[in-house]
Amino acid sequence: MSRCKSCEAPAVIDVRRHNAAFCADCFLRHCREQTRRAIEQHSMIAAGERVLVAISGGKDSLALWDILLDLGYDADGVYLALGIGGYSTTSQRYAQDYADRKGAKLHVVDIPAEHGFGIPEAARATKRVPCSACGLSKRHLLNRAALDGGYDVVATGHNLDDEAAVLLGNVLQWQVDYLARQRPALPATDGFARRVKPLVRLAERETAAYCVLRRIDYIIEECPMAAGNRHLRHKETLNDLEERTPGAKATFYVQFLERMLPVLEGVATEERALVGTCSRCGSPSSAEVCAFCKMVERVV
Amino acid sequence: MSRCKSCEAPAVIDVRRHNAAFCADCFLRHCREQTRRAIEQHSMIAAGERVLVAISGGKDSLALWDILLDLGYDADGVYLALGIGGYSTTSQRYAQDYADRKGAKLHVVDIPAEHGFGIPEAARATKRVPCSACGLSKRHLLNRAALDGGYDVVATGHNLDDEAAVLLGNVLQWQVDYLARQRPALPATDGFARRVKPLVRLAERETAAYCVLRRIDYIIEECPMAAGNRHLRHKETLNDLEERTPGAKATFYVQFLERMLPVLEGVATEERALVGTCSRCGSPSSAEVCAFCKMVERVV
């Protein structure tokens, strides 16, 4: 049996890309430490700032909230009810259970109640794939929740696997503007709260193990609308690569941050210069009416 | 049975990414036309220029030579004998047979005879993987052959699959300097003949079919030293993607050329500024002694 890298106790989990195994306590410390380092490295959250954590009820967002609270941050949660039938009901329950157990504050934005439609209707009406309609709604509504609640920063649970898969998708089509924007911390701009991804140094398998070891219950099923989407296929492709070359996934993502993002600085600056204000809702938008308001108009 | 896209005759081959099928004659025309367009689009060869085609005895290089001759270019071949046992003997025979049949000129550079070692020895002595020692030798010796023979341009048989796989390898590690250099046409610089890849618009499957239909015999086996290398694994990864999304491979490569290379222009300029001259052989080099001369020193 392998031994914990830090304390020599029997190990319960191995992290192949670090060529290391950990006992439960040291693994939890590893997760906190990787999160702390990501926050520090990318200047994600300054002392005294108020953080709004986007909570889906899944392993990543609940692990993130737990770690941020543990690290002493002033972190509230926000749950977006997306109107995806039983999946939404169940995931909201996990989010609320965690908040209740910790005595933490969870805001709920009920999209069907407040806007008159759920993600399935929005996708149908706009002929977007559901994940596109959903991502668009989340970006808009999380930002609105942060501004309305006076939060300095929105934190999301995107992990290394997520970011690497998004990166692969952007690279396969060379979406240069998306690449230039794919940062672990997007600074606040007029009308946008800062957006940060403190879990980018942790793999999916690690956030799942974190929740298990911390006895945090979370919704295990993938969203039914995401089944078979490109993002999941890109994850498979990267998992195959990782299987053959442990560390390949982290190299792909980390080297992108270190070597490529600086080259894309000019593209990012051009992009930001194009952002104006939505004439309907006042949110930042590069078109006269922002994509969310356009979607609302079409679906309602 | 499907019909030829161009003439409605029964089709013998389909090209899924173009959503098209072709009869034999129209397929050969398609291959010539794609090559002509690559040459034109990237200003690869000007009228009256002398072309040296790097011939390995495989499908790609023989198809390239055949198409260039057919398109009326003044194209001689050069075969590098790499000293890889029976593989080298056989591949040289295919190269020479084609040249004899066409009455075309084939230069032969015999590396073991001229330099005292073959690729297997070079790889062992320098602790490089064989494909690295080989690529390095080819770049150096092809360029030397072009300069010595007064050729304006070196043409190689790299096809779409090759270029996409190299691109994936460079992207997975974000080798930004390699990315900036990955062009279908590299302009001549001090000490370097122009280097062009006229087959970048044709997939591997198409160059193989071209040779079969033109009754060009070629060595079918992969080089025994390349078995299991990363390049072949990256090809598999891309083939999986292509299987699920026909056209994915071409999109990945073509969008790179269109959207990403312009962004990398600054990196390429910096790179070029670093190139000096090898103090031993006079070839362009960013170190005092070029990598080929260093290898020769170590191996002999």
Residue B92 in this model has a pLDDT that exceeds 80: yes
pLDDT for B1 equals 65
- What residue type is assigned to position A104 of the chain? A
Residue B103 CB burial class (10 angstroms; 0-12, 13-18, ≥19): exposed
Chain A, nearest residue to B173 by Cα: A252
Helix axes A204-213, A24-41, angle to 10 degrees: 130
If pLDDT is split at 50, 70 and 90, which confidence band does A1 have? low
Quickly count: other Cβ atoms within 10 Å of residue A187's Cβ: 11
| Dist. CA B284–CA B266, nearest whole Å | 20
The distance of A57 to chain B (nearest Cα, Å) reads 31
Confirm if A191 and A283 have CB atoms less than 8 A apart. Answer: yes
Chain A, nearest residue to B237 by Cα: A237
pLDDT for B172 equals 97
Contact B240 A244 (CB under 8 A): no
Chain B, nearest residue to A238 by Cα: B237
Chain B residues with CB under 8 Å of A258 CB are: 174
| Dist. CA B121–CA B134, nearest whole Å | 11
Instruction: Give pLDDT tens digits for A47-89.
Output: 999 999 999 999 999 999 999 999 999 999 999 999 999 999 9
Instruction: Give pLDDT tens digits for B14-36.
Output: 998 888 999 999 999 999 999 99
Q: pLDDT averaged over chain A?
A: 94
What's the sign of the alpha-carbon dihedral B208, B211, B212, B214?
positive
Residue B230 in this model has a pLDDT that exceeds 80: yes
Q: What is the ipTM of this complex?
A: 0.88
Chain A residues with CB under 8 Å of B252 CB are: 171-174
| Dist. CA B190–CA B258, nearest whole Å | 27
Q: pLDDT averaged over chain B?
A: 94
If pLDDT is split at 50, 70 and 90, which confidence band does A171 have? very high
* Residues B273-285, mean pLDDT to the nearest whole number: 87
If pLDDT is split at 50, 70 and 90, which confidence band does A250 have? very high
* Residues A131-149, mean pLDDT to the nearest whole number: 93
Chain A residues with CB under 8 Å of B256 CB are: 174
Chain A residues with CB under 8 Å of B241 CB are: 172, 237
The distance of A173 to chain B (nearest Cα, Å) reads 5
Return the percentage of chain A with pLDDT > 70, whole number: 100
* A143: nearest Cα among A132, A126, A156, A131: A156
Name the one residue in this structure whose structure tokens are 């591949």.
B91
Return the percentage of chain B with pLDDT > 90, whole number: 76
What predicted TM-score, i.e. pTM, was given to this entire model? Answer: 0.91
Chain A residues with CB under 8 Å of B173 CB are: 251-252, 255
Confirm if A283 and A290 have CB atoms less than 8 A apart. Answer: yes
B261 or A283: which carries more pLDDT confidence? B261
What's the sign of the alpha-carbon dihedral B136, B138, B143, B144?
positive
The distance of B18 to chain A (nearest Cα, Å) reads 17
3-state secondary structure of B192: strand
Return the percentage of chain A with pLDDT > 90, whole number: 76
Contact B241 A172 (CB under 8 A): yes
Bridge-partner residues for A109, per DSSP? Answer: A80
Instruction: Give pLDDT tens digits for B240-267.
Output: 999 989 999 999 999 999 999 999 998 8
The distance of A43 to chain B (nearest Cα, Å) reads 23
pLDDT for B269 equals 86
Confirm if B29 and B67 have CB atoms less than 8 A apart. Answer: no
Instruction: Give pLDDT tens digits for A9-22.
Output: 999 999 988 889 99
pLDDT for A262 equals 94
Name the one residue in this structure whose structure tokens are 């618009």.
B201
